[in-house]
């Protein structure tokens, strides 16, 4: 495998191949979570096209909580990636 030397970015160090692999794995997991959130949002968009029948319980999801969960997942993945990269700046 060819060695890649990352250009110097202020506050960041050169990552090992293992660290790069861990970051890529985390990014892939984040993409899976993002796809799941998109699926939850698309579900309600599709359901909104058909009116509920009389007496039927709400069929939509609580999109407020879906959004809170999406934000928390993004924040969590950013924290994990930062934990791997270990930047020295604020």
Q: Is residue 10 part of a domain?
A: no
Report pLDDT for 2.
67
Structure tokens at 77: 């993945």
Q: Is residue 22 part of a domain?
A: no
Chain segment 13-41, per-residue pLDDT in tens:
899 999 999 999 999 999 999 999 999 99
From residue 21, how far is each of 13, 17, 28, 57, 74 by CA, in Å?
A: 15, 6, 10, 46, 19
Q: Is residue 84 part of a domain?
A: yes
Q: With cut-offs at 50, 70 and 90, classify the pLDDT of residue 1.
A: low
Q: What is the pTM of this model?
A: 0.77
pLDDT greater than 90 at residue 7: no
Q: Is residue 8 part of a domain?
A: no
* CA separation for the pair 57, 88 (Å, rounded): 52
Report pLDDT for 67.
97
Chain segment 52-81, per-residue pLDDT in tens:
677 776 678 999 999 999 999 999 999 999
Report pLDDT for 48.
74
**Total domains present in the chain:** 1
Q: Is residue 73 part of a domain?
A: yes
Q: Is residue 85 part of a domain?
A: yes
Residue 75 is part of which domain span? 32-43+61-90
* CA separation for the pair 31, 67 (Å, rounded): 16
Q: Is residue 9 part of a domain?
A: no
Alpha-carbon radius of gyration of the chain: 20
Q: Is residue 11 part of a domain?
A: no
């Amino acid at each position: 495998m060819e060695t890649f030397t990352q250009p110097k970015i202020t506050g960041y160090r050169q990552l090992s191949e293992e660290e790069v692999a861990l970051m890529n794995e985390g990014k892939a997991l984040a993409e899976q979570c993002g796809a799941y959130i998109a699926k939850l949002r698309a579900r309600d968009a599709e359901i909104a096209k058909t009116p509920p029948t009389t007496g039927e319980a709400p069929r939509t999801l609580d999109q407020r909580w879906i959004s809170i969960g999406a934000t928390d997942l993004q924040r969590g993945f950013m924290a994990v990636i930062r934990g791997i990269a270990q930047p020295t700046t604020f």
